[in-house]
Amino acid sequence: MNKTVNPNDLKPADDVGPLYAARKKVYPQSVSGTFRRIKWTLMAICLGVYYLLPFVRWNRGLGAPSQAVLIDLPNSRFYFFFIELWPQEVYYFTGLLIVAAVALFLMNSIGGRIWCGYLCPQTVWTDLFYAVERLIEGDRRERMKKDASTDPMKLERISEIVLKHSIWLMIAWWTGGAWVLYFNDAPTLVKELVTFQAPMIAYIWIGILTTTTYLLAGYMREQVCTYMCPWPRIQAALTDEWALNVTYRYDRGEKRTSVKKAAELRALGQQVGDCVDCYQCVAVCPTGIDIRNGPQMECIQCGLCIDACDNVMTKIGRPKRLIGYDNDINIHRRQEGKAPIYRIVRARTIVYSAIIAAVGGFMVYTLATRSLLDVNVLHDRNPVAVKLSDGSIRNAYTVRLLNKSGYDRAIAIDVEGPVNPKMHVVGVDSVTPDRPIIVIPRDSTSELRLLVTAPAENNPEKSIPVRFHVMDIGLGVAASATDNFVAP
């Protein structure tokens, strides 16, 4: 295929090439079939979830937000149905990101760029914008003709353009609008937004997301995937020979010829390829590439070329899936007359699944067993220990009690370490001096200054470990923290 060219025969000098290239506009043609139906369905689900989720309610009791999914930035809380997370529990998000990344790897090792082709917001919104464009301006050929036309624009054409951009902007505006609803009580914010009572920051964010949606889905489109997104590069490095990718089965397709000629040659008993060079796969491609050139970085593997080719194959009476999810191994096996083999379960997919199961399982376990009462203790650093006039030694601690539950708690504090310690919480006159009891309001933290004194006769010689036990005296829920009791 590659033949050597004598450099002297090549055109010289001005063929250095441009420093930059203009975008070649893509005009994807409409197509119907299995993968198009899958894409419509997934688009409906993804957009439906995104736009409607903020309106789903969840009862958390009086005084707590009733929105199922809410990122409450002012109060530093994240609500997801029955889960409420505090900022210090951000590791759940880390876990979520690990699971998401490995799930992406798993998808990639099973079916190539499933994420890119079906689920990525860039794909979903671009697909939606193309649908609007097609509805208003017509299919591929009409749009190409209209764009190429040099005639002065008529009112009809102008109104088409205005209508298209208006609908695009409306979708983009709704996208930004839905975004801000995740950060505030949705029904209240909608009311405020329409009466122009909402905070400026809400309008600013809607503006930002309207702009990005409009630009990315209306103009940048496949260029986001080609130039901006790191995933095509990463996935190219992660894929292996068993991964199924949208593939042109050149073993079946080559040599390309016309329908008529193919029929004639077949009649003579000759080997002919099924590809009739109809360019339908190119016409429907949202990234404007030719899948028959083999795996390409630009290909988002949306499967629309499979639909396009299947339709043609059906028409000319040849078997479907000249383009399909496949890999080079099977192409070679078929060329050698062997049956194709598919290895979904292999070391790579098992390891990825195991990581997902392990991280996911660990997250669910810790989430299910996490305590809604917690205590952190920080020893005073300056001074670490104070000698009192009777010779006893006092250490001071900053104790932070966390009550993550939806009700107030009465907490008793016990200390274990020094013999017969005396305890005092600054600012609290407890009725039980040896066991201070503090009330922590629902869903909040309390920071206390706790003084622990070891009587002179029990002075520790050196630093000894000390353990603080806190217990909800009503429910018996307990938590503890360790630190040191330091002798001067």
Partner 1 sequence: MTDHSSDIDSVSGKSTTGHEWDGIKELNTPLPRWWVICFYLTIVWSIGYWIVYPAWPLISSNTTGMFGYSSRADVAVELANLEKIRGDKMAALGAASLADIEKDPALLALARAKGKTVFGDNCAPCHGSGAAGAKGYPNLNDDDWLWGGTLDQIMQTIQFGARSGHAKTHEGQMLAFGKDGVLKGDEIVTVANYVRSLSGLSTRNGFDGAKGQKIFAENCAACHGDAGKGNPEMGAPNLTDKIWLYGSDEASLIETISQGRAGVMPAWEGRLDPATIKAMAVYVHSLGGGK
Give just the sign of the alpha carbon dihedral 234, 235, 238, 241. Answer: negative
Q: Is 279 helix (H, G, I), strand (E, B) or coil?
A: coil
What is the smallest separation between the CB atom of 391 and partner 1, expressed in angstroms?
4
Give 394 or 404: the residue with its C-beta nearer to partner 1: 394
Give 85 or 299: the residue with its C-beta nearer to partner 1: 299
How many residues are recorded in the chain?
488
What is the smallest separation between the CB atom of 138 and partner 1, expressed in angstroms?
26
Q: Tokens standing for 19? A: 């420093």
Which residues in this chain contact partner 1 in the complex, by CB under 8 A?
A: 2, 4-5, 7-8, 10-13, 15-23, 223, 227, 380-383, 386-391, 394, 396, 424, 426-427, 449, 451, 456
| H helix or E strand, kind and range, residue 78 | strand 77-80
Give 22 or 155: the residue with its C-beta nearer to partner 1: 22
Q: Tokens standing for 41? A: 């369905």
Q: Give 452-476 as a DSSP string.
A: EEE-GGG--SS-EEEEEEEEETTT-
In angstroms, the CA 67 to CA 427 distance is 37
Give 228 or 358: the residue with its C-beta nearer to partner 1: 228
What is the smallest separation between the CB atom of 223 and partner 1, expressed in angstroms?
6
Give 18 or 476: the residue with its C-beta nearer to partner 1: 18
What is the smallest separation between the CB atom of 451 and partner 1, expressed in angstroms?
5
| C-alpha distance from residue 326 to each of 104, 283, 291, 382 (Å) | 19, 21, 13, 68
CB-count burial class (<10 Å; 0-12, 13-18, 19+) for 376: middle
Give 14 or 241: the residue with its C-beta nearer to partner 1: 14
What is the smallest separation between the CB atom of 9 and partner 1, expressed in angstroms?
10
Beta-carbon contacts of 457 under 8 Å, excluding residues fewer than 6 positions away, are none
Spatial contact of 387 and 393, defined as CB atoms under 8 Å apart: yes
What is the smallest separation between the CB atom of 17 and partner 1, expressed in angstroms?
4
What is the smallest separation between the CB atom of 45 and partner 1, expressed in angstroms?
32
Give 63 or 427: the residue with its C-beta nearer to partner 1: 427
